[in-house]
Amino acid sequence: MGVSLQIETEILEAYHVDNQGIRGFTLTGKIIVGDVCFIRKDEKVLLLLRKKEPMKGKWTGVGGKTEFDEEPLESCIREVKEETGLEIQPELAGVLATINIKENSKWLLFMYVADDWKGKMKRSPEGSLEWVSQERLHEKKLAFVGISFPYVLDRKRRSLITGKIVHDGQKIMSCVLREGRKALLNI
């Protein structure tokens, strides 16, 4: 499997969360580079109900940690093949920082979409796969990146979605999303 890219960091400011997001913290944390892919078919998206941590019991796209010798695109293609059996040609849709203040960890998450694939879908070792109508996404218990779905999945999107989501493992504490320089969401 290889070694996943986890960068140990020292963060030296006082801890504070407000509606502008996280304002530093006095903890030592790690940054994990990862990817998630949203495979689309007509007006549906392939979601994975995770059966193990992180995000156990929540729905998300297919993806995982970027190995040390991979770039995010390679990681996305590998993860989708391992978890679904499908071969894809994904397009980068955005990059998010997700910060779990309880676990003292940060994911730098490269988000991809794929509209074309080859192969036959297999059972995933990571959980249950399901094609979900984009109009019914709100009915699923989504992982934290779910707040970005309307923007990432928008076929009229003109540039990358960027931002950060600060959470405590249970709920979102703050979120900032942008498309280019345009603010989309600030909670």
Instruction: Supply the pLDDT for residue 7.
Output: 35
CATH number, domain with residue 91 = 3.90.79.10
Q: Is residue 141 part of a domain?
A: yes
Mean pLDDT by runs of 10 across the 187 residues of the chain is 38 42 57 96 96 91 96 98 98 96 93 96 96 94 93 95 94 96 95
Distance from C-alpha of 39 to C-alpha of 107, rounded to nearest angstrom: 21
Instruction: Supply the pLDDT for residue 26.
Output: 45
Instruction: Supply the pLDDT for residue 54.
Output: 82
Instruction: Supply the pLDDT for residue 53.
Output: 86
Range of the domain at 165: 6-186
Q: Is residue 163 part of a domain?
A: yes
Task: Return the DSSP state at 142.
Answer: B
45-81 b/e (C-beta count within 10 Å ≥ 16 → b): bbbbbbeeebbeebbbbbbbbbbeebebbebbbbbbb
Number of domains observed in the structure of the chain: 1
Instruction: Supply the pLDDT for residue 9.
Output: 33
Q: What is the pTM of this model?
A: 0.84
Q: Is residue 1 part of a domain?
A: no
Q: Is residue 71 part of a domain?
A: yes
